[in-house]
Amino acid sequence: MKHDWWKEAVVYQIYPRSFMDSNGDGIGDIGGITEKLEYLQELGIDVIWLSPVYRSPNADNGYDISDYQAIMEEFGTMEDFDQMLKKAHSLGIKIMMDLAVNHTSDEHPWFLESRRSAGPDNPYRDYYIWRDGQKDGAVPNNWGSTFSGSAWTYDDNRGQYYLHLFAPKQPDLNWENPAVRREVYQMMNWWCEKGIDGFRMDVISLISKVPGLPDGEKGGSLYGDGGPFYTNGPRVHEYLREMNEQVFSRYPLITVGETPGAAVEDAVLYAGEDTHELNMIFQFEHMEGDPKQPGRYGKWDQKNMPLSDWKRLMSKWQTGLEGKGWNSLYLSNHDRPRSVSRFGDDRPEYRVLSAKMLATCLHMMKGTPYVYQGEELGMTNIAFDKLEDYRDVESLNAFEELTKVCGEAPETVLGYLKRMGRDNARTPMQWDSSPNAGFTAATPWIKVNPNYTEINAHQQRRDPDSVFQYYKKLIQLRHTMDVVVYGVYELLEPEDESLFVYTRTLENEKLLVICNFTDQKLPMPDSAASCIGPDTSLLISNYPQRQDDWLRPYEAAVYLSKK
């Protein structure tokens, strides 16, 4: 396995709108990020993944970009960005930009020109995916949008429909057009010349569509499933190799692709050691809920999968990419509920223990760990009581569809949003116990979680037993021990529904990782006990002292042995 700097790094995701407000308008901004860079240096992270800060009308919180080479006014100016980049680099922190090029905003100049006419004299006519309606005027095919409704919208000006796999204000680019690809690569090189250190490529597995755009199977759904015809499409690897040749290979970048629908076999192509596409991908299998109990409404009413299934999935990726590619490790991000609320236990008596346990389980695996802002504090989901408190387009559209079309009771759907809504991850960062958690002096764009007086960075930086301090230790271990980065993974106790036990082995060093996913006291399994001998030392644990024969509620322990 080749040694690369990004394999040894820890990435911290910032959602700028919710991180820190520096100008008192209730919205996080680039100046606020600059103010807090020393905090991130103290935590020990290497890279900031910066969610989109480009100019955008904000139909999807910045993932609808209207100008790739300008900064959203709410976030500041390009001068602010340059100052942040310079300061981050001075502190040893790299910046990875979040880039959406499957689609743009419908306010992007390319789309404004494209919708002007379909005539041969319009150089932008094929920059997007336009189709005539069917003979009866119906939409070109039956695909549904990820954000509810049809994936097609009719444009009166052009007299055709355009494809949008997401919101109507996010038209899909036509990657079949070489001019589109040239423009995208040009823009990416511009950012690299500015000095950024990498790209997180939004839904990059969707950029190639099957010719003809066939109807998808409907099953019992309102719309057909177009996924098989736009996920991991026929030319996606060709496009990414071209992107690598034109952009990535020219700079020492970190590159990660968000790849809905990717299996291990796909990951080996997207992020293989020598495929010349990406460094790693984000896969979703461990985040998708119980495959044996699929919800009627997708993620909204899906059950958490049994621990044995979850371990099998996590292990499949660990072993499937061994020697072939590289994993990205994450439990939450801007699109997912808070990890301690979903995978741990956010009750007051167990929140700290389970947050540390989850961090141990993830950070001791093979791959590059991603920390989502506030995860290092054990921030939790927020339970909004009113629909008016939600801001996320996906949640608002789902409420509309599930109540009005599917006939679900409003309180039932609100329950879905409380559990799985994306706004759980988007409430303001909890800096201290002052009003609005120290995030802003104004009214925040979205409500602050009321538990900020107990859960905040100021308190945790001073508490040696806090979640924050525990993350610092885990990050330091990754930075100082090759076995944490490069050790080979092996799962123990695969059928156990309470414990996640695995080993990592590199040359003469072996790690034993034991995590109790329950609020029960459980005996140490024989497979783990047999790994603990006289040459074994306790590397880290989330309890002050270990009891070798027992695992207490949400206990995590990592042992190191040397041959």
What span, in angstroms and rounded, lies between the C-alpha atoms of 247 and 447? 40
Question: CA 381, 386, 392, 397 torsion: positive or negative?
Answer: positive
What span, in angstroms and rounded, lies between the C-alpha atoms of 347 and 15? 25
What span, in angstroms and rounded, lies between the C-alpha atoms of 357 and 543? 10
Using an 8 Å Cβ cutoff, are 493 and 526 in contact?
Answer: no
Q: What is the DSSP letter of 206?
A: G
Element (H, E) at 328: strand 328-329
Question: Which residues 6+ apart lie within 8 Å of 418 measured at CB?
Answer: 381, 383, 384, 424
Percentages (nearest 5) of helix, strand, coil residues in the chain: 35, 20, 50
Q: What is the DSSP letter of 303?
A: P
What span, in angstroms and rounded, lies between the C-alpha atoms of 357 and 467? 10
Using an 8 Å Cβ cutoff, are 53 and 27 in contact?
Answer: no
Tokens 């414990």 identify what position? 499
Using an 8 Å Cβ cutoff, are 115 and 171 in contact?
Answer: no
b/e for 299-338, b at 16 or more Cβ within 10 A? bbbbeebebeebbbbbbbbbeebeeebbbbbbbbbbbbbb
Query: Which sequence positions are flagged as catalytic?
Result: 202, 258
Angle between helix axes 236-246 and 178-194 (nearest 10 degrees) is 40
Question: Which residues 6+ apart lie within 8 Å of 201 measured at CB?
Answer: 99, 101, 255, 256, 257, 258, 278
What span, in angstroms and rounded, lies between the C-alpha atoms of 370 and 202? 16
Q: Exposed (0-12), middle (13-18) or buried (19+): which is 193, by Cβ within 10 Å?
A: exposed
Tokens 């930075």 identify what position? 479
CA atoms within 13 A on the CB side of 436: 20
